[in-house]
Amino acid sequence: MLLLNTHTVTTDTNHLSDRAYTISDILNKSPETKFGETVKILAKNNQAEAVQNIKKGATFSRTMTAKKMTITVPNYEKAVLKNYIQVTSQRSSTLFETVVVIIFAGLIYVIGLGQFYLANKKRLTFEADTIAKIKNIRRSPLTQSYLISEDDNKITTELNHLGETIQHQAESSTPAKKNLYAFIEFFEFPIFIYDLKGTIRRSNASFQNEFMATKNLDIFSPYSDVLQFLVNKMLKPTRQEQTFYFEKINAYYAVTVQPIEALERRLMVTMIDVTAYKVTTRAHNDFIANVSHDLKTPLAAIAGFADILANDSAKLPPEKITGFAKHIVKETKRLSSLVTDTLEMTRQPIHLKKKKLNLTALTRDVLENFKLAIQDKALHVTTQFDEVNVKSNDKHLYAVLKNLIENAIHYTPTGGKIYICVTKIAGKATFSISDNGPGLTEIEKTRIFERFYRADQTRDADGTGLGLAIVKKNLTELDGQIDVVSIVGKGTTFTVTL
């Protein structure tokens, strides 16, 4: 008896919910259609308990009494919640069905009258056929033929109407689905389609390669902000775009959710990799901030010394005035270098004119310009120069050599050693410079070619912080390369190959 009652409740629920969804489709197509007292239209802001249950995530809401059952379902139009449909119906009598089955079974068994047997057989066949048709409609709405009966039977009428509605929807949406599903495979960025229950209906190869071939939005569980964004769109299916950082794959994606008009209760998600844009934007902002900071430092020093000389020069001894003037000259040169280097870094790549250059002679010229700086620090410079010619751009190559030699002088301690070599290795011109300075850690080695990066921020901040960045940029435009070998506490060697 309990099993029969449970089955009856399930049957009543399925029947009534199907009827509610059918009414929803009819109203969306013909809003002026009127229904009896058993059907109510609830506004989407209705505070009824049934509506609140659906807002909390239920597919539909069901309430029952001993004699009646009420089903409430959401009504969507073009993937946007319009209102709620509430349908009430009399419940099936479990006791009555049991008694009828027992009486007819007893009559068939005891009396065995052929005519009565045939009549009951027809009824049982009709019920079985009805149930079978309902199950078939659920399994495959496109391949089933529906009941055509002349009987004025409510079940038959509702079933026929339901079947026709489902078939119409399925036939109209299936081509759209196939076309859309085939369409998304053409794109090389991740795309997937999910429904209002959180099930991923289809995803393209790019999504599956980057994430996983899955049917559940739980794939985004490690990214709670992304998952929350997708869930919110299930509750409010409107177009929205937001950029998220996916830590596990170290990438930024611009995620766009778009309701699909051709397929109700479906949303398409496109994921555009904007990592390069984000990195470039961040580098640009850092560059502007660093330039602004480094411009302020020498300007502040110049302004300070100039103010003292302008207002208090009469009270200062000559040596003080001379010292302040030297500071102004020093900061002016630093400011000039910063402006020059900044312009060099922001210069757009152009087609370089290359000519035959003597790399050895060019290295000697650059080294000669640092003669005083080398003497001031009492550095021991050893050279090994072979006669090497190379086809290159003289200005770009001069800047490379200048910045590398200046860098070695800057970081080599007083009385330290520098070794410079110009030679050919495997047919390629090679310039290398070694120092016995503090050396670089592995992390520092990966960052030394960044703009304004200094390996040791506590060290004297002379220089613009752009020297090695210019070296890297120029060598890229010269089709050359640079390698770094360094041991902390021992020194560093830069090797340029052209």
Q: Are 448 and 411 in contact (CB under 8 A)?
A: no
Question: Quick one: which H or E segment has residue 50?
Answer: helix 49-55
Mean pLDDT in residue range 435-460: 75
What's the one-letter identity of residue 256?
T
Of 210, 220, 229, 342, the residue nearest 275 (C-alpha)? 210
pLDDT of residue 350: 65
State the maximum Cα–Cα separation within the chain, in Å, rounded to a whole number: 138
Q: How many domains does the chain have?
A: 4
In angstroms, the first-to-last Cα distance of the chain is 91
| Distance of alpha carbon 407 from alpha carbon 237, whole angstroms | 58
Residue 171 within a domain: no
Q: In what order do the strands lie in the sheet with 428-435?
A: 380-385, 417-425, 428-435, 491-497, 481-487
Residue 109 within a domain: yes
Residue 166 within a domain: no
For residue 105, is pLDDT > 90? no
381 and 483 inside one domain: yes
Residue 317 within a domain: yes
36 and 138 inside one domain: yes
130 and 16 inside one domain: yes
82 and 205 inside one domain: no
Mean pLDDT in residue range 479-487: 92
Q: Are 19 and 62 in contact (CB under 8 A)?
A: no
Q: Are 191 and 201 in contact (CB under 8 A)?
A: no
Task: Print the SS3 string covering 225-268.
Answer: HHHHHHHHHHHCCCCEEEEEEEHHHCEEEEEEEEECCCCCCEEE
Q: Are 359 and 389 in contact (CB under 8 A)?
A: yes
33 and 117 inside one domain: yes
Residue 172 within a domain: no
144-194: pLDDT as tens digits: 444 444 444 555 555 555 555 544 554 455 565 666 677 788 788 899 999
Q: Could you tell me what percent of the chain has a pLDDT over 70?
A: 72
7 and 42 inside one domain: yes
Mean pLDDT in residue range 206-222: 85
Interstrand relation of 380-385 and 417-425 (parallel, antiparallel or unpaired): parallel
8 and 88 inside one domain: yes
pLDDT of residue 92: 63
Which CATH number covers residue 398? 3.30.565.10
Name the average pLDDT for the chain: 77
Which CATH number covers residue 315? 1.10.287.130
Q: Are 255 and 269 in contact (CB under 8 A)?
A: yes
Question: Quick one: which H or E segment has residue 69?
Answer: strand 68-77
368-403: pLDDT as tens digits: 888 888 998 999 999 999 999 999 988 889 889 988
pLDDT of residue 113: 46
Mean pLDDT in residue range 256-285: 82
Neighbours of 83 (CB within 10 A): 18
For residue 468, is pLDDT > 60? yes
Q: How confident is the model at residue 107 (pLDDT cuts 50, 70, 90)?
A: very low
269-278, 347-356, 409-418, 456-465: range with lowest mean pLDDT? 456-465
| Distance of alpha carbon 187 from alpha carbon 192, whole angstroms | 11
CA 369 to chain centre: 51
Number of H helices, E strands in the chain: 14, 16
Higher pLDDT, 394 or 118: 394
Q: How confident is the model at residue 483 (pLDDT cuts 50, 70, 90)?
A: very high
Q: Are 54 and 61 in contact (CB under 8 A)?
A: yes
Question: Quick one: which H or E segment has residue 291?
Answer: helix 275-312
Residue 165 within a domain: no
Q: What are the DSSP calls for 293-326, one per residue? A: HHHHHHHHHHHHHHHHHHHHGGGS-HHHHHHHHH
Q: In what order do the strands lie in the sheet with 61-64?
A: 39-43, 80-90, 68-77, 61-64
pLDDT of residue 216: 84
50 and 117 inside one domain: yes
274-299: pLDDT as tens digits: 888 887 777 777 667 666 666 666 77
What's the one-letter identity of residue 168?
H
Residue linked to tokens 């010269």: 478
pLDDT of residue 104: 47
For residue 462, is pLDDT > 80? no
| Distance of alpha carbon 2 from alpha carbon 106, whole angstroms | 22
Domain boundary among 249, 273, 297: 273
125 and 30 inside one domain: yes
Q: Are 404 and 471 in contact (CB under 8 A)?
A: yes
pLDDT of residue 348: 62
Structure tokens at 285: 């902002």
Domain boundary among 346, 363, 388: 346
pLDDT of residue 431: 94
For residue 89, is pLDDT > 90? no
What's the one-letter identity of residue 31?
P
Residue 96 within a domain: yes
In a 10 Å sphere around its CB, with 0-12 CB exposed, 13-18 middle and 19+ buried, how is residue 165 labelled? middle
Of 94, 98, 86, 81, the residue nearest 16 (C-alpha)? 86
140 and 51 inside one domain: yes
For residue 257, is pLDDT > 80? yes
With 0.85 as the threshold, say if the pTM is over it.
no
Range of the domain at 223: 185-273
28-39: pLDDT as tens digits: 777 777 777 788
Residue 429 within a domain: yes
Domain boundary among 297, 327, 346: 346
Beta bridge partners, 471, equal: none
pLDDT of residue 290: 63
| Distance of alpha carbon 66 from alpha carbon 110, whole angstroms | 34
335 and 255 inside one domain: no
For residue 464, is pLDDT > 60? yes
Q: How confident is the model at residue 336 (pLDDT cuts 50, 70, 90)?
A: confident
313 and 413 inside one domain: no
Say whether 361 sits in a helix, a strand or coil: helix
pLDDT of residue 457: 46
Which CATH number covers residue 242? 3.30.450.20
